[in-house]
Amino acid sequence: MKHAVILLTALLLAPLTALHAADIRRNRMLYMFYAGSYDNTPQQVGVATSKDGVKWERLFREPFLRNGQPGEWNSSESAHPDIFDDGERSSLFFQGNPDKGNTWWLSNVEVFWKNIPHHEGSTE
């Protein structure tokens, strides 16, 4: 029954929470790339950080990855992020569409870890 309560709570709060998240650890800090908002309203990718995986703080005031302008391939959303790191480079994969979810397109952008804001207690 515990799982049903958690699922129900997640479904009720979904429009107000971060959905479709992917995280990576860098320099003793967790970075979570998340799709804010709800599908195609539009969704945009944000970044939050955490030292413990429980308490998260938004890293930037603006989205890290915005949806596109009207008529662009991702005008309805840039969402469903996942991060891949091969030890030298990091790529953020994401889904976009221009038609409220009737089609899906996949793309990626390279994530650069230089000059990122650090919270108190960070090693860099």
Residue 7 has pLDDT above 70, yes or no: no
Residue 101 has pLDDT above 70, yes or no: yes
pLDDT at 40: 86
> DSSP of 13-36, one letter per residue?
HGGGS-EEEEEEEETTEEEEEEEE
What pLDDT, in 10s, does the model give residues 52-95?
998 999 999 899 999 999 999 999 999 999 999 998 999 999 99
CATH 2.40.40.20 assigned to 2-111: no
Residue 79 host element (H or E): strand 77-85
What pLDDT, in 10s, does the model give residues 29-48?
999 999 988 778 899 999 99
Instruction: Record the tokens describing residue 60, joined without a space.
Output: 């930037």
Beta bridge partners of 35: 19, 45
DSSP 87: S
> DSSP of 44-56, one letter per residue?
EEEEEEESSSSS-
Residue 107 has pLDDT above 90, yes or no: yes
